[in-house]
């Protein structure tokens, strides 16, 4: 079963420095039909204005990943971590028993475009941790590559594998979906066909009871693939 969550049907949040699209219920946006998918709780597509950002604020009992599409974000947290994350890198915080963090656009001229992802952890009360990883040029080109999970450069404390791929027009990749498992595909940019169904930037796709998933790019595309219990 393949269910497409069209980009234009997502929720929306707007501030003077932030324009967000919500695949699942978040903040003041609530849709009882779209609150989560398996352990995947949040996929927010955020565009942060120059010098804008999220001030220091708390989280707990959540795996929080940041994937940058354009621009850069400056991270600080209560564990003493500080750095700037750019395209080709992934950041993960396990909020666990509690963490404070801020995320700001350090540029005074360019916006930053990112995906904020929350995954429910395997259990509550874990020790907070922080990880980031930079991929080599071309590492994600032409196929889905693990970027977070138990067998990936960045860990997730949940039975989830997150893969990413950057595809030129005409490139195709197929991934098996194990028996009893599910997948969520997020089209970060571009367009293509997913098991023959047309998808475009901003669309999310919930997949159950399918043994494999094939993405074919019809234009240059960047795609996230969540393999979920």
Domain ranges of the chain: 10-134, 145-228
- The highest-level CATH class for domain 145-228 is mainly beta
Residues 88-102: what's their mean pLDDT? 97
For the chain, give the mean pLDDT: 97
| CATH code of the region 10-134 | 2.60.120.10
Q: What is the pLDDT of residue 188?
A: 98
Q: What is the pLDDT of residue 151?
A: 86
Name the pLDDT band for 200 (thresholds 50, 70, 90): very high
Q: Measured between alpha carbons, how far is 224 from 43 in angstroms, rounded to an integer?
A: 11
Which residues make beta-bridge pairs with 112? 48
Indicate whether 140 pLDDT > 90.
yes
Decide if 99 contacts 118 (C-beta within 8 A).
no
The pTM is what?
0.97
Those residues whose C-beta lies under 8 Å from the C-beta of residue 118, and which sit 6 or more positions away, are: 40, 41, 42, 62, 63, 64, 65
CB 46 within 8 A of CB 11: no
Report the C-alpha gap between 202 and 180 in whole angstroms: 26
What is the rounded distance in angstroms from the CA atom of residue 146 to the CA atom of residue 81?
Answer: 24
Taking CB atoms within 8 Å and a gap of at least 24, the contacts of 163-166 are 163/224, 163/225, 163/226, 163/227, 164/67, 164/140, 164/222, 164/223, 164/224, 164/225, 165/140, 165/141, 165/215, 165/222, 165/223, 165/225, 166/140, 166/141, 166/142, 166/220, 166/221, 166/222, 166/223
Which pLDDT belongs to residue 180? Answer: 96
pLDDT bucket at 31, cuts 50 / 70 / 90: very high
- What mean pLDDT do residues 7-26 have? 97
pLDDT tens-digit profile of 78-91? Answer: 999 999 999 999 99
């Amino acid at each position: 079963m393949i269910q497409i969550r069209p980009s234009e049907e997502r929720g929306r949040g707007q501030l003077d420095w932030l324009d967000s699209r919500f695949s699942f219920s978040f903040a003041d946006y609530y849709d009882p039909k779209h609150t989560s998918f398996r352990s995947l709780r949040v996929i927010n597509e955020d565009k942060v204005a120059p010098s804008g950002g999220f001030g220091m604020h708390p989280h707990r009992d959540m795996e929080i990943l940041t994937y940058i599409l354009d621009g850069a974000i400056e991270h600080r947290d209560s564990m003493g971590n500080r750095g700037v994350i750019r395209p080709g890198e992934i950041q993960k915080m396990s909020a666990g028993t509690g963490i404070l963090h801020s995320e700001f656009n350090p540029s005074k001229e360019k916006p930053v475009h990112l995906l904020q992802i929350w995954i429910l952890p395997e259990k509550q009360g874990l020790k907070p941790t922080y990880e980031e990883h930079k991929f080599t040029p071309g590492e994600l080109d032409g196929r889905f590559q693990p970027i977070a999970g138990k067998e990936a450069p960045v860990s997730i404390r949940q039975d989830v594998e997150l893969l990413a791929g950057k595809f030129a027009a005409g490139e195709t990749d197929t991934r098996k979906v194990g028996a009893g498992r599910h997948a969520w595909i997020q089209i970060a940019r571009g367009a293509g066909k997913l098991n023959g169904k047309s998808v475009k930037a901003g669309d999310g796709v919930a997949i159950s009871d399918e043994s494999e998933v094939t993405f074919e790019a019809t234009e240059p595309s960047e795609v996230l693939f969540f393999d979920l219990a």
